[in-house]
Structure 1
Amino acid sequence: MKSLLSAVALAGLSEAALRFGCFKHQNGSYQQVPIMANDALPPGIQGGMTIYYTQQDFFSNGNQKITSFPKGFRMTAGKVTATSKYSKGLKFVCLQNKSTRFPELDEFPTQKCVGGIMTVHHFPACWDGKNIDSPDHQSHMYDTINDAFVNAGACPASHPVRVPQVAYETLWDTAKFNNMPWPTDGSQPFVLSYGDKKGFGTHADYMFGWKGDALQRAMDSSCMFNACENGRPLKSQQPAQMNACKVKSSVDEKLDGWLSELPGMGM
């Protein structure tokens, strides 16, 4: 694991499943858009999602007690069927380069982005302290997040336990398609796997999978960024180790090259 903030950033799949994104050609065919590694991580990492666990924000650990998620905990952010803005924590960034973080947009940018498009998922950080899940995977949590990595508001009495602020960043290499024919109506030809061309239905899943009390020790530490590595208090990995951690695809369907329809639509 590669520590980046007061907790950790993970390269690869780990606790979350990466969503499938495609470029839609004017002729109606699709091609998978590859994922790029975040430049906050070491060179040599082959794609993957960056996962942040922060105590407060990018600038301070704050002074609140942060309680680690319990074993078996899970939650979701966003809703796949949403047709309008679902929550503040779901954002897109038109990248000029891999370090671009602003402005954060509520839907896909319509212009060509020279560095690709970043999807951001901020999870709620207030827990009811009782349930490790709920029927909708969201009611046991309360979202006080502001836009971007800004310190969230105080937790309400109904959800009084402050847990780590989890956020996902996924960088899509849409720039490789910038010389392709684009829609004549000015829309963005990047679509998510279920046909969403606005991005309102962007969503993410979280399942707690840390070993022992490692995350709690990270939240109790005053370290930030790379100072958390090498046993202080977290162990770290080199890019070769990260790249070797892969999940074999379970999809029995053509995913490479130009596709006549989105994956799964013909099933």
Structure 2
Amino acid sequence: MRIRGRTLSALLLAAALGVSALTVDTYTAATAHGETTAPAAGAHGAHASGAAKGHVMGASALPSADDADGDGYIPAVPQVTDVVPSHATPPAAYFHEFQANCSVTHTAPDDPIVYPGQAGASHDHTFMGNTSTNAQSTTASLTGGPTTCNAPADSSAYWMPSLFKGDQKILPVGPQVIYYKSGVTDYRSVRPFPKGLRYVVGSPMQSAQEFRSHKGFVEGWECGDSFFNVDFPASCPSRPDVQLSIRFQAPSCWNGLYLDTPDHQSHMAYPVVKPGTNDNVCPASHPVALPMIEFKMAFPVNGDMSQVHLSSGRGYSFHYDFFNAWEERTLKALVDHCVVGGLQCNTRGYDENHPERGAVLDADHRLP
């Protein structure tokens, strides 16, 4: 529902956070979906102001090429209204995935989803994939752009809060693992992302408990033999082979109506468990099964971790953004062959356990 009015509680919260009442109005709507919480005063010490400033869900948008009226709703064209969630039982297949691995391109205090057209309005982000991503990015500007992803057809933008050790920014080295998987049991029902779909996974304002209980939480922060950490571990083994890493999964069920919504999350949902079974299905409100993105990020930092923090705050403020700009034919070929086909594919769409099935992309990661 579009929130136009302002409640007294919204005005009071706005005053407390030092943000606009409009920001809090839509932030409050996001909270209703259980995705965000208000940041406690001083929660992140010197970084608290950056977190509050840089990524409040539902921040007021400016009119853009993708959102002409600036209301935060970007309708899909065409909208998908003829799908119901699949409850079918598919053939047994342990894997249904491919990798779209991308290297870091640059960092900047920009966020074209939460703060479109507002350069410098966000906390610092580390960008991967499309090399042109900035506050002005739109579907048109990203499409066909240069990319650090293995497949040249993947001009999508991927970003997350930058990680620091003290004042030193720590950037992941080399291609980072970005899985495209099935999040539902009937992997045959997964279809490609619509061009221009975008969303935010998690929230910089989530509490430690909310981060731990988030449906996208996989293993938390880990290094060496330390796993399932909600915040950064106090120390990691000081060895060249040890990095700080995290895995976090995105929602994979789409309402079929909007490419974005004011809170940047409510057009997407996580699968739910079908009653009486262990099957994951899309909810009726979000019936369209899309690939489930999973970030698997590794940061070259170890030893004493007491000075490690994110630009958004503590370790449990981790979140990330995705803006789809794949070339449609290539994405569909990978989804159909690897996800719908029940394979464990690499970045070329090749499953070494099933060489007879072939690959989707050639040696240059291009669709033949």
TM-score w.r.t. length of structure 2: 0.48
Q: 307, 314, 320: which is aligned to 1:204? A: 320
Q: 276, 281, 287: which is aligned to 1:154? A: 281
Alignment pair present for 1:49 and 2:176: yes
Cα shift at 1:105: 3.0
Aligned AA (1:35): P
> After superposition, where does 1:231-250 map in structure 2 within 5 Å?
232-235=359-362, 237=364
For 1:104 and 1:225, how far apart are their aligned partners in 2? 27
Higher Rg: 2
For 2:188 and 2:306, how far apart are their aligned partners in 1? 41
Alignment pair present for 1:130 and 2:221: no
Secondary structure, aligned partner of 1:218: helix
Question: CA separation of 1:56/1:89 partners in 2, compared to 1, >3 Å: closer, same or farther?
Answer: closer
Percent identical among aligned pairs is 24
Total equivalences in the alignment: 199
Higher percent of residues as helix: 2
Report the counterpart of residue 27 of structure 1 in structure 2: none
TM-score w.r.t. length of structure 1: 0.64
Cα shift at 1:220: 1.5
User: Contact 1:144/1:153 (CA < 8 Å) preserved in 2?
Assistant: yes
- Runs of at least 5 residues in structure 1 that lack an aligned partner in the other structure: 25-29, 37-46, 239-267
Greater RCO (CA < 8 Å, at least 6 residues apart): 1
Q: Deviations over 1:38-87 (max 9, x none)?
A: xxxxxxxxx24321101259xxx954310111111111101122233242
User: Contact 1:92/1:108 (CA < 8 Å) preserved in 2?
Assistant: no
For 1:113 and 1:145, how far apart are their aligned partners in 2? 38
Aligned AA (2:97): S
For 1:112 and 1:237, how far apart are their aligned partners in 2? 37
Cα shift at 1:20: 1.7
Report the counterpart of residue 112 of structure 1 in structure 2: 236
- Runs of at least 5 residues in structure 2 that lack an aligned partner in the other structure: 1-94, 104-127, 130-156, 352-357
Aligned AA (2:99): V
Secondary structure, aligned partner of 2:178: strand
Q: 296, 309, 323: which is aligned to 1:191? A: 309
For 1:111 and 1:173, how far apart are their aligned partners in 2? 13
Q: Deviations over 1:71-120 (max 9, x none)?
A: 11111101122233242314533232xxx8x8433332233245121122
For 2:279 and 2:179, how far apart are their aligned partners in 1? 15
For 2:269 and 2:286, how far apart are their aligned partners in 1? 6
For 1:191 and 1:234, how far apart are their aligned partners in 2? 38
Cα shift at 1:219: 1.7
Question: CA separation of 1:48/1:189 partners in 2, compared to 1, >3 Å: closer, same or farther?
Answer: farther
Question: CA separation of 1:170/1:63 partners in 2, compared to 1, >3 Å: closer, same or farther?
Answer: closer
